Structure formats: structure tokens, C-alpha cells
Amino acid sequence: MRGRRTPLRRVWSALFNGYGLLFLAFLYLPLGLIVVYSFNANPINMAVWTGFTLDWYATIFRGASVEGNFDAAFTESPERIFAVVRNSFAVALLAAGLSTVIGTATALALARFRFVGRRFYQALLLLPMLVPDIVLGIALLIFFVGAGIELGLLTIVIGHVTFLSSYVFVVVSARLAGMDTTLEQASADLGAGPITTFRRITLPQIMPGVVGGFLLAFIISLDDVVITYFIAGVGSQTLPLFVLAMMRRGLRPQITALAVLILLFSFAVASIGLFLRSRKP
């Protein structure tokens, strides 16, 4: 702290800290509420605590075999949940993998080459992140239907790759910008070919950016609602679309338990990603 610790300054500082804690509470209390509710045995009103239960989690994994707290009309079978989770993971892995290759290649091209149209590409790559989701969603819907491509997991993967490549591009470009190029030059001077130089020198240095970009793309794909909503076929529901459909039918404790599991998973993946990105090049 600079300056004298006058009483006024101390009051100001306390106010600031109080405000900051309120800010964090605003961000986290709603999520904390979901966690508490997911253990509440009350099947009618989650806001009234009637006792601790793990039944809602059990209905996700074991379905109807849980006695008592089972509400068949609102509970999805474990097989159904497993199927949509598998769909989501397949889409997210494939979309994130492809976007990582495309985004990284583009970042390398724009960072290591000077060419006509470089600024055009820089602007173009920002666009998919700036176009509102709903516009991209309906554009892809019209396009796929018009081109006669059947809506399904493949169209979801393609749709995700169009905007996820930009996210990976931004993350990897940031890594490349902070990188020292003398090692690459030394490698080239010593006679290594471009592929060897890339594999032995460039790739290891940008690896945290590449992995961070992959994880970011993975988590965004896993969570995407709007674009997926328009381009998913009848038989290709993903986890967010499944949760959306459940929420439309009414708020039930089973959604709450599922929500907690999703939160835990995305917290874990995001923590790894943010940790990797925070490491300096």
C-alpha cells in the first residue's frame, strides 16, 4: 500500500474488500445453492430442507431402482443420460481436436510468415467469435438443409469447428507472440529442415498454448447450446440440449444433481486449462 494509512484510507480499503467479497458471493452463491439443493430429500420444493439424500445422484446412475424418491414422469433413464453424454464427448473431442490442428496451423502461418492478405485473415478469424450465436446457428441450419446434409453429430462437429478454430487461434497466437525466435533460427542455421525445427523447437515451446487451446475448445463445445440447438438432428441430442429439454419440462431434483456433476467436470477441466495458460512462455 502506498501512502499513509490514514483512517479514511482504512475505511476505503475495508469498503473495497467488502464489495469484492459481495462480488464473489454474487458469482458463487447461485452455484452453491444448486449443490446444496442436490442433497435435499424434499422432492416437491427444493427450497425447503427436509433431510440429506443421495437419491438424486442415484437416479442418474441407477434410475428406477432407487426406492421412494422416484418420479418416473420427470426422471430420465441412465441409458438415455449415458447416450447423450457419449454424444457430447464424441462431438467435443472431435471438434476440439480438429479446431486445435486448424487453429494452430493458422496461428503459425500468421506469426511466422509475412504475406498479402495477412491482415484480412487476422480480421476474418475474429468474426466467428463476434457473430451472435443465433445468427451462426440459423445460417448453418439453412446451409446444411439446403446442401442436403443430414443433421446429426457430423453437422454439430462441423458447426463447432467453424468458431472453435478461432478460439484456439487466439490462444496459440498469444503463446507464439511471447516466444523467442532465436532458437528456431539457430535450428535452421544448423541445417534442420522446417519439419524438424517445428517438431523439436517450436512445438515444445507452444505446447502449453496448444493444450490450453484444446481444453478451451473442448469445454466450449461441451457446453454449447445455441448453435447445437439449431443443427442437431432428431437422434443426435447432446448433454446441453438434454438439460435444456429437462428444464423445459419443469425443475426437478434430478436436474439439480446432474447440474452438480456437470459443474464439477467443467471446473476440473477449466482449472487444468487456466493453470496451463498461466505458465509463462
Partner 1 sequence: MKGDTVRTRQRNTLLLLLAPVTLILAAFFMVPLGIVVVYSFLEPGLYGGVEWTWYPFNYGRILGWPLNDYEEFDPIYLLIFLNSLKFALLTVLFSLLICYPAAFWVSRMRAGRKGLVLFLITLPFFTSFLIRIYAWLLLLRPTGFINTTLQTAGLIAEPLDMLFSGFAVVLGMVYIFTPFMFLPIYANVEKLDHSLIRASQDLGANPVQTFLRVILPLTAPGIAAGSVIVFIPALGNFIVPSFLGGSKVQMTGNVIERSFLQSRDWPFGAALALLVMASVVLVLMVHAVRSGRSRDRVVA
The gap between the terminal CA atoms of the chain, to the nearest Å, is 30
Binder among 5, 6, 7, 24 for partner 1 (CB under 8 A) = 24
Alpha-carbon distance of 176 to 239, in angstroms, equals 34
Count of CB atoms within 10 A of residue 101's CB?
14
Nearer to partner 1, 64 or 135 (CB): 135
Min dist. Cβ of residue 58 to partner 1 (A): 20
Residue span binding partner 1 (CB under 8 A) among the ranges 51-59, 61-69, 70-78, 95-103: 95-103
Spatial neighbors of 101 by CB under 8 A, at least 6 apart, are none
Min dist. Cβ of residue 79 to partner 1 (A): 22
Residue 193 · residue 220 · CB < 8 Å: no
Residue span binding partner 1 (CB under 8 A) among the ranges 71-79, 117-125, 174-182, 201-209: 117-125
Spatial neighbors of 42 by CB under 8 A, at least 6 apart, are 48, 49, 50, 51, 253
Alpha-carbon distance of 227 to 135, in angstroms, equals 9
Binder among 134, 177, 186, 203 for partner 1 (CB under 8 A) = 134
Binding residues for partner 1 restricted to 176-195, rule: CB under 8 A: 194
SS percent in the chain: helix, strand, coil, step 5: 75, 0, 25
Q: Quick one: cell of 194?
A: 522446417
Min dist. Cβ of residue 96 to partner 1 (A): 13
x-marked contacts with partner 1 along 203-242 as a string, rule CB under 8 A:
-------------x--x---x-xx---x---------x--
Binding residues for partner 1 restricted to 135-154, rule: CB under 8 A: 135-136, 138-143, 146
Binder among 9, 10, 14, 20 for partner 1 (CB under 8 A) = 20
Determine the size of the site formed for partner 1 (CB under 8 A): 78
Binder among 11, 54, 64, 124 for partner 1 (CB under 8 A) = 124
Alpha-carbon distance of 167 to 163, in angstroms, equals 7
Give 76-128 as a DSSP string. Answer: --HHHHHHHHHHHHHHHHHHHHHHHHHHHHHHHHHHH---TTHHHHHHHHHHH
Residue span binding partner 1 (CB under 8 A) among the ranges 41-49, 81-89, 171-179, 204-212: 41-49
Please tell me whether residue 132 binds partner 1 under the rule CB under 8 A: yes
Min dist. Cβ of residue 65 to partner 1 (A): 26
Min dist. Cβ of residue 273 to partner 1 (A): 7
* 51 three-state secondary structure: coil
Binding residues for partner 1 restricted to 240-279, rule: CB under 8 A: 240, 243-244, 247, 251, 255-256, 259, 262-263, 266-267, 269-271, 273-274, 278
Binder among 11, 25, 109, 186 for partner 1 (CB under 8 A) = 109
Q: Quick one: cell of 107?
A: 496461428
Please tell me whether residue 43 binds partner 1 under the rule CB under 8 A: no
* Per-residue CA distances from 67 to 45, 55, 78, 253, 272 (Å): 19, 9, 15, 15, 38
